[in-house]
Amino acid sequence: MKRYKRKIRLKYKKERVVLSDVLPFEIPVIFSNRYFYRFLVSYGVEIRDNKIYWNDNKKGLTEKKKDTLLHIIKLLFGCKPNEPIQNNSFDLNKNRRRIPFVYKITHKEKEFRELAVIHPKNQIDIIEFYEKYKELILYYCNISRFSIRRPSEVAKYIFFNDKLHKQKSGLKDDSIEVNINEYEHLKTFFTYKKYTNIFRFYEDYRYQRAEKKYDKLIRFDISKCFDSIYTHSLPWGLLNKEMVKDNIPLSENTFAGKFDEFMQNINYGETNGILIGPEFSRIFAELILQQVDKKVEDHLLKQGLVLRRDYECYRYVDDYFLFYNDDNVKEEILKSFKLELREFKMWISESKTKSYSKPIITELTMAKLKIVDLIDDNIKFRIEEAEKEDEELEEGCEDENPFEKIADKFTIYLNPNKLSAKFKTILKETNVEYKDVLNYTLVVISRKIEGIFKKFDLKYKQYAELEKEGKFDEKECRKKYNLEKRLTTFILNILDFIFFLYTVYPKVNSTIKLTVILTTIINYYKGNHNFKKSKALRFQSVNRDLVLKKIQDEIRLILEKNKCVEHVQVETLYLLIVLKELGKEYQLPEPVLCEYFNCAKDKTTSEFIFKNHLNCFSILVLLYYVGNDSQYEHIKEALLSYTTLKIKNTDEAKRRRSAELTIMLFDLLSCPYIASAYKKNLLSLYGIPDDASQTDIIDFQKNQKYWFTKWDKINLEKELNAKICQEVYS
């Protein structure tokens, strides 16, 4: 029997928390904690008893470099320049709160959701917290019998497909030291029961069994769950509300009290609402909802209602699925939930509550089934008698004209206009919205395209073999060209359809899935694909240019339609990264880029200025895109001026506490597209005025290479595949 998966034991490092449980899913693909993690491990940076410690005894570290490391640590963790140091440590008793980097993404039509990246200082706080309280997290997350996504144990192994891993492993220069290389496949610090993605629940026997056993289903969730959570709710839930209020000092030293304090510190002291995005926030919410679930089940049991006899209830984060037969049972359960949630200042979202009767099938399920059939029926790629032909070839069957057995066997078909019309019909018939099925549709198409490329390669490789043997004449060359052209026409039609889908409702998640498709196509046509059997094949430039130009044109239209507005900036940044992948000949003209970022020439000074607020991600991605290209001279100059003003206009005391400015500072210091003089100016704004120290800090970056943004040598396919594995909702 073939082994499809391989299990690798993790070398436990407490620092790996920053790789898996800290950053939101919706961040630019070039941004990660990978190199920040490397820094923490390399220098043994940690927090113990409210003090930051580090190890500067590394081999080759001179006294001068030790002083530079000290500057780096003070800057990175928001300490004052004159912060007293003793035995390679800083006392943090008085200065623990930091300002998170909060940014918006589209959530619903005309609605936004705020996500957050926490300060590097708070990121090492969570390392210490997990290390100290991981067992208690596991204990309190395994109380509810309703929860179907909960931490069950500390992750000890990584599982991956051997073949896929080899294909997607990336370039050699994209790796870091083996001993800190867990990032590649690490999803979360804990393993989760029972589902890491909600859609796996829909396909599971538990859901299907409940459908058979019960006549009715009601779905509901908690209204603005994370925004509603009061941080003190955790001590209330795990201890006792009245006891906590009467003995606040005592509760502060408990696990619940410490988690409450941490959630405040990362959010600049806020107690109303918790940050959205990081996995540890979902764990915080899970701990509270575990208590709600347990109290509801206990209350219902006293009423004579038994779980899995009278009802079944499943909760995925804050989404509930209640199966039942009797309406009186449903009303009693809902009443109990409302009472218990009210104790924690949370409420059921009435507008999102939906009921279903047997046969229990949701509008979404019906739409998905129809979409799969639609794509299978209308995106056709067949190779007739492929198995027979392969056998004959393997047996060395001679044929005077082998091309007849290759080119004429392909069936490639797609009508994008017809497909679009039928897709809209499905939405109308099932009464679902674009946003509900867009991601699913793009995933189905993505898998379809990968399968088509693999099938195409299996036959097309025969041309490579014949070409290599010098058996080509004019007729055969023409057939090869026609085959390339047919596939290219097919891909152009595919691109028409997926961009039609995407432009209706662009969101971060759908942008990521679109990017996956585009990257697959780009790599295939540029000869960078991972299908080994036809590595020698290269498409004619005319076909390659048609596809790449099509991608450029469609992205350009999207950028012209969706300006980089103040409220939402992450949605389309991925597309700039894709454009970078196309190559220099497909780059956007500077005026188009200026229009997208609302950068225009000032009538008074004749200088280019940004009229909209740009957040950290927009600044870094734009800088990544323009690089050192001379055609972007004006917008790059304007960007650097804007960045300087962004720092200057922030109160000096808050600069070091700001997650956004701290992350941006370190990425700019490591950026290869910025002159040293500009970097020195930035350092002077952070209280490091002397030239020698500035030079030493800049030189330090050469060893560190990157901090959060990877400025070059991006393996986009690999990065995207790693990111998709971290989805909680798809």
pLDDT the model gives residue 286? 96
pLDDT the model gives residue 392? 41
Residue type, 265: N
Of residues 107 and 33, more confidently modeled = 33
Q: What is the mean pLDDT of residues 144-172?
A: 66
pLDDT digits (tens, 9 = 90+) for 578-630: 999 998 899 999 999 999 998 888 878 878 899 888 999 999 999 999 999 99
Split at pLDDT 50, 70, 90, the class of 184 is very low
pLDDT digits (tens, 9 = 90+) for 424-437: 999 999 988 888 88
List Cβ neighbours of 408 (8 Å cut-off, separation of 6 or more).
Answer: none
Does the pLDDT at position 163 exceed 60? no
Range scoring the smallest mean pLDDT among 248-262, 500-514, 573-587? 248-262
pTM: 0.88
pLDDT the model gives residue 276? 95
pLDDT digits (tens, 9 = 90+) for 229-240: 999 889 888 887
Range scoring the smallest mean pLDDT among 309-313, 364-368, 497-501? 364-368
Split at pLDDT 50, 70, 90, the class of 176 is very low
pLDDT the model gives residue 409? 58
pLDDT the model gives residue 106? 82
Does the pLDDT at position 169 exceed 60? no
Q: Calculate ∠ Cα 549-550-551, nearest 5°.
A: 90
Find where tokens 């793009």 sit.
Answer: 442
Q: Is 586 helix (H, G, I), strand (E, B) or coil?
A: helix
pLDDT the model gives residue 318? 94
pLDDT the model gives residue 682? 96
Burial class (CB in 10 A: 0-12, 13-18, 19+), 122: buried
Does the pLDDT at position 391 exceed 50? no
Range scoring the smallest mean pLDDT among 41-50, 276-285, 523-532, 566-575? 523-532
pLDDT the model gives residue 305? 97
pLDDT the model gives residue 607? 86
pLDDT the model gives residue 195? 78
Does the pLDDT at position 58 exceed 80? no
Spacing of C-alpha 191 from chain mean position: 18
pLDDT the model gives residue 537? 53
Range scoring the smallest mean pLDDT among 68-77, 353-362, 531-540? 531-540
**Percent of the chain residues past pLDDT 90, beyond the cut:** 49
List Cβ neighbours of 539 (8 Å cut-off, separation of 6 or more).
Answer: 484, 488, 525, 527
Q: Are 680 and 694 in contact (CB under 8 A)?
A: yes
pLDDT the model gives residue 11? 67
Does the pLDDT at position 180 exceed 70? no
Find where tokens 């090492």 sit.
Answer: 124
pLDDT the model gives residue 419? 87
Burial class (CB in 10 A: 0-12, 13-18, 19+), 612: middle
pLDDT the model gives residue 692? 93
Distances in whole angstroms, Cα of residue 61 to Cα of each of 58, 367, 582, 610, 710: 6, 61, 41, 42, 25
Spacing of C-alpha 378 from chain mean position: 31
Does the pLDDT at position 534 exceed 80? no
Q: Calculate ∠ Cα 411-415-416, nearest 5°.
A: 135
Instruction: Name beta bridge partners: 380.
Output: 413
**Percent of the chain residues past pLDDT 70, beyond the cut:** 83
pLDDT the model gives residue 8? 61
Does the pLDDT at position 121 exceed 90? yes
Range scoring the smallest mean pLDDT among 3-7, 12-16, 93-97, 228-232? 3-7
pLDDT the model gives residue 381? 73
- Give 616-670 as a DSSP string: HHHHHHHHHHHTT-GGGHHHHHHHHHHHHHHHHTS-HHHHTTBHHHHHHHHHHHH
Helices 659-670, 691-704: inter-axial angle, 10-degree rounding: 80
Does the pLDDT at position 389 exceed 90? no
pLDDT digits (tens, 9 = 90+) for 290-299: 999 999 999 9
Split at pLDDT 50, 70, 90, the class of 189 is confident
pLDDT the model gives residue 399? 47
Range scoring the smallest mean pLDDT among 182-186, 222-226, 343-347, 494-498? 182-186
Instruction: Pull the structure tokens for residue 150.
Output: 């909960």
pLDDT the model gives residue 457? 77
Q: Are 575 and 601 in contact (CB under 8 A)?
A: no
pLDDT the model gives residue 612? 85
pLDDT the model gives residue 639? 96
Instruction: Name beta bridge partners: 534.
Output: none
Q: Are 560 and 595 in contact (CB under 8 A)?
A: yes
Of residues 724 and 684, more confidently modeled = 684
Mean pLDDT of the chain: 84
- Find which of 161-175, 548-562, 711-725 is predicted with most confidence, using mean pLDDT: 548-562
pLDDT the model gives residue 95? 67
Question: If we measure between CA atoms, which residue out of 210, 208, 220 comes closest to residue 336?
Answer: 220
Rounded Cα–Cα distance for residues 418 and 342 (Å): 50
Residue type, 101: F
Cα first-last separation, the chain: 32
Q: Is 610 helix (H, G, I), strand (E, B) or coil?
A: strand
Range scoring the smallest mean pLDDT among 93-97, 381-385, 705-709? 381-385
pLDDT digits (tens, 9 = 90+) for 68-97: 999 999 999 988 877 778 777 777 656 678
Range scoring the smallest mean pLDDT among 295-304, 412-421, 472-481, 610-619? 472-481
Instruction: Pull the structure tokens for residue 717.
Output: 């396919």
